[in-house]
Structure 1
Amino acid sequence: MPDRHTVISADCHAGADLLDYRPYLEHRYHEAFDAWAAAYVNPYEDLLADGAERNWNSGLRLAELEADGIVAEVVFPNTVPPFFPSASLVAPAPTREDFVLRWAGLRAHNRWLADFCAAAPGRRAGVAQILLNDIDEAVREVRRTKEAGLTGGVLLPGTPPGSGLPELHSACYDPLWAVCAELGVPVNHHAGSASPPLGDDPAARAVFMVETTWFSHRALWHLILGGAFDRHPDLRLVLTEQGTAWIPGVLDTLDHYYARLVPGDGATGTSEAKFGAGLATSVRRRPSTYWHANCAAGASFMRPHEVPLRHRIGIDKIMWGSDYPHDEGTHPHSREALRLAYAGLPAEETAAMLGGNAARVYGFDLALLAPIAARVGPPVTEIAEPLETVPPGATSPVFVRDAPVRAW
């Protein structure tokens, strides 16, 4: 066991400054981009603040992550891509004409991200963006971004009620699952990507906060009950920044319903069996087995109350993340956050959750990262020491000492 942990953040965010996307657009879109950018008003305060450059300043980013004890990162999007009203995770379904421009914008982001990752070889796994309105185009973009060196996989958009898109259990997405399984591309589903628009009054914003993770969780049972993992055994799903405390209970619930729905698995004569007609042909195992075979959790700023559940979730399924550079992330107090969550655990378990699992899922080379970890990684003895005092000014929910939220 090395003296220092190799910490890989499985949840970080980045993107280009707005005008810097222009060189990454095909030339035919430049005129439209110039007109759009001239009129665009960014709705995100953090992208207008002094710290916004953390999203695209490679040198600053490396320095701050290293100071936090982090040697590598999985890079989700953050800034607004060309032709979107907001970040693509929550953009409403536009017209067909808008989709043409938005596909161009996402391809521009993916090209920029490939260069951004190449600026720190072996230390960034970029997550490519796609849309689900055109599955053939999505498949092409998965292949292109894999060839371009993006190793973080693909960001799966949500299909919220009212979006007009088929639900994720639909077989229409099979070509996407097939190419991801073929190429070993993880399918990432990030929190906030599947909630329906609720409005902007105080109650709507509060309801969004209560419901948003639940809407993101739905991808798990949609893919399981839709048979995606049966048809594509090599498909990998990662659920990121959705917490982990909900996972054991949901798996128990899914197993319960499966036993009641599927004849031959204890369901004969049950009142629910009529709803499970035909399910056994596409879902041949208990749902929890698919979690352990095909899924993982990007456990951003994992909280202390989640840690005792780690064996039920699966030690090999948990990947810690700092959520850099977001306010709710652990920067610049990641070392303290790790102590708060993982102090007193076996060092081997901590090492898996802090870096080993992410290296396996996203293809990081631990041998390449070892010299960096030897220089900046937090000492094993430091993380094993319980945290007594919360750092002043810490904003991450991991430091909240009140009763844990266990919903969903």
Structure 2
Amino acid sequence: MGASGVRELPRIISVDDHVIEPAHLFETWLPRKYRDRGPKPFRAGIGGLQYIGGKYRFTTDPGGQITDWWAYEGQVFPYKRVIAAVGFSRDEMTLDGITRDQMRKGCWDPKARLDDMDVNHVEASLCFPTFPRFCGQTFAEAQDKEVALACVRAYNDWMVEEWCGESGGRLIPLCLIPLWDVDLAVAEIERNAARGVRAVTFSEIPTYLGLPSIHSGYWDPFFAACEATGTVVNMHIGSSSQMPAASPDAPPAVQATLSFNNAMSSLTDFLFSGVLVRFPRLTLAYSEGQMGWIPYALERADDVWREHRAWGGVRGLIPEPPSTYYYRQVFCCFFRDKHGIESIETVGVDNATFETDYPHVDSTWPDTKQVAAEHVAGLPEEVAYKILRGNAIRMLGLPFDAGRAVASTA
């Protein structure tokens, strides 16, 4: 308790934030022989927006709003205000283009990010990429895979050495893998684990990217490498390059509302895949998926396992109720989810983590402390600690709170 008798809120560890890549990233970190074929930053006007099949299409326009872009393999990728929204009012958080000069500096500068974390009661942060997309789809879709592999490695070197390197452990490295080759993926996991990286981003539903499914066994060497190195597999909503919508012409608000569906589908896939049985020390983390849906998803999975496993294709494959593996190996995270908090015992006091989503349109910055306090106000102090901080420390093996037990009670 503080001097006023009000419970002190532990400093937050956010397991899902985002970084806007600096313009010098590939010029600095990509080997010289690949730079002519690698991504190049440029600034130009942005043209009209098309929303086709759940995806946005942008073009340049000399008369349009000046925007910062990347050019890569004949395609262009703009930065939009919604992905660098902190500091703008709600009515200003649009799909308009934006330059780095117009963003808060904390979007792309690590020292400024630490300052913004201090303002926001946040001690440490795990950041997903923007231009490469949430699990590196930009490079997986490239034609020249030699350059794409060099880009993955360059991004990871920048992430570890520049973005996180001088943060004193407060910026937590999250690396990419070359999704198109599982052996190269294993090599990249091992390369980064050797320098202390304990988090990698992966697709929530690989088949949506044209990749083998998790049921096929293709990814087992990747899962084995992650298990062996203690590398957490982080899956962000949208890392399948698709967002759920009831109709192809539905407005983006439908996708925003249903975004948790991808996490729910992915979790169910994993629970019935046998992956968590074969790799009992593998850790999965669902990023920005929220958690209010988890109690019923687990209830239904366990009911199906009990009642329908004979014809459902999982008899002998899943020896225990699927929820067993969730509680043992899976973490969820949230930024606003009061229904999930009301069900926290079923969600799992050892499974829930917190995020700020900086600098996206959903971010609670600079009011995260207030939002967090409102959510955990009715919880025991130890449970609040776990959700806001302790579970993230345990999940990622972070060097914080060494004198305090953070072990799971499961």
TM-score tier after normalising by the smaller chain length: 0.7 to 0.9
2:238 match: secondary structure:
coil
Compute the displacement of 1:219 (Å). Answer: 2.2
The alpha carbon displacement at 1:357 in A equals 0.6
Q: How many angstroms apart in 2 are the aligned matches of 1:52 and 1:170? A: 44
Residue 219 of structure 2 corresponds to residue 173 of structure 1:
yes
Query: What does residue 104 of structure 1 align with?
Result: 150
What is the 5 A alignment of 1:232-243? 232-243=279-290
State the match for 1:45 in structure 2. 80
- Contact 2:351–2:391 at 8 Å: present in 1 too? yes
After the TM superposition, which of the residue ranges 234-243 and 49-58 deviates more from structure 2?
49-58
1:122: Cα distance to partner? 2.0
The aligned residue for residue 311 of structure 2 is 274
Q: CA deviation at 1:257?
A: 0.9
In 2, Cα distance between equivalents of 1:8 and 1:290: 24
1:9 and 2:61 matched: no
Instruction: Give the residue type in structure 1 aligned to 2:110.
Output: S
- Structure 1 match to 2:301: 254
Determine which structure has the larger strand proportion and give its number.
Answer: 2
Conserved 8 A contact 2:263-2:289: yes
What are the equivalent positions in structure 2 for 1:77-226 lying under 5 Å apart? Answer: 77-78=129-130, 80-81=131-132, 91=138, 94=141, 97-115=143-161, 116-151=163-198, 153-159=199-205, 163-196=209-242, 203=250, 205-226=252-273
Of residues 163-172 and 354-363 in structure 1, the stretch that sits farther from structure 2 once superposed is: 163-172
Say which of 24, 29, 36 aligns to 1:31: 36
Q: Which residue of 96, 107, 114 maps to 1:55? A: 107
Q: Distance in 2 between matches of 1:361 and 1:26?
A: 33
Indicate conservation of the 8 Å contact 1:92/1:163, yes or no.
no
> Does the 8 Å CA contact 2:341/2:376 hold for their aligned counterparts?
yes
CA distance in structure 2 between the partners assigned to 1:5 and 1:31 by the alignment: 47
CA distance in 2, matches of 1:162, 1:335: 36
User: Does the 8 Å CA contact 1:192/1:213 hold for their aligned counterparts?
Assistant: no
> After the TM superposition, which of the residue ranges 216-225 and 183-192 deviates more from structure 2?
216-225
Q: CA 1:349–1:274 in structure 2 vs 1: closer, same or farther (change >3 Å)?
A: closer
**Matched residues, number:** 350
Aligned-residue RMSD, C-alpha:
2.8
Q: CA offsets per residue over residues 191-250 of structure 1, 9 Å max, x none?
A: 111253899985263553354431233221222211111111100111110110011110
- The unaligned stretches of length 5 or more in structure 2 are 3-7, 44-69, 85-97, 405-410
Q: 1:226/1:147 Cα in 2 relative to 1: closer, same or farther (>3 Å)?
A: same
CA distance in 1, matches of 2:403, 2:109: 21
Letter in 2 for 1:133: W
Residues 87-126 of structure 1 deviation map (CA, whole Å, 9 limit, x = unaligned):
656649636x344333322221111010121211221221
Partner of 1:375: none
Deviation at 1:161, TM superposition (A): 5.4
Contact in 1 for aligned 2:139/2:151 (Cα 8 Å)? no
CA contact (8 A) 2:244 2:262 kept: no
Alignment equivalent of 2:120, drawn from 62, 65, 68: 68
Q: In 2 relative to 1, CA 162–72 (structure 1 residues): closer, same or farther, beyond 3 Å?
A: closer
Give 5+ residue unaligned stretches, structure 1.
263-272, 371-408
Q: Using structure 2 for the length normalisation, give the TM-score.
A: 0.77
Moved more, 193-202 or 179-188: 193-202
1: CA distance, partners of 2:139 / 2:112: 33
Return the letter of the residue paired with 1:58.
P
Distance in 1 separating the partners of 2:257 and 2:144: 31
Distance 1:303 1:220 in 2: 18
| Structure 2 equivalent of residue 231 of structure 1 | 278
Secondary structure of 1:171's aligned partner: coil
Query: TM-score under structure 1 normalisation?
Result: 0.78
Range that drifts further, 253-262 or 153-162: 153-162
Asked if 2 retains the 8 angstrom alpha-carbon contact of 1:160 and 1:196, the reply is no
Check the 8 A contact 1:22/1:30 in 2, yes or no. yes
Q: Could you say which residue in structure 2 is the equivalent of 1:314?
A: 348
Aligned to 1:351: 385
Cα deviation, residue 37, structure 1: 5.9
Once the two structures are superposed, what CA deviation does each residue of 1:40-79 show, in whole Å capped at 9, x if it has no partner? 244222363422532331221111111111111122223x
The CA deviation at 1:367 is 3.6
CA displacement 1:1-55 (0-9 Å, x = unmatched): 8955132111111243133322211222112127686972442223634225323
Q: 1:245 aligns with which of 292, 314, 318?
A: 292
Distance 1:102 1:37, change over 3 A: farther
Pick closer, same or farther for the CA change 1:37–1:106 going to 2, 3 Å.
Answer: farther
Whether 1:295 aligns to 2:300 is: no
Cα distance in 2 between the residues matched to 1:29 and 1:52: 31
- The question of whether the paired residues in 1 share the 8 Å contact of 2:282 and 2:329 is answered with yes
Greater CA drift, 18-27 or 351-360: 18-27
**Percent of residue pairs bearing the same amino acid type:** 27
Whole-angstrom distance in 2 between the partners of 1:201 and 1:295: 31
Q: Which residue of 2 aligns with 1:373?
A: none
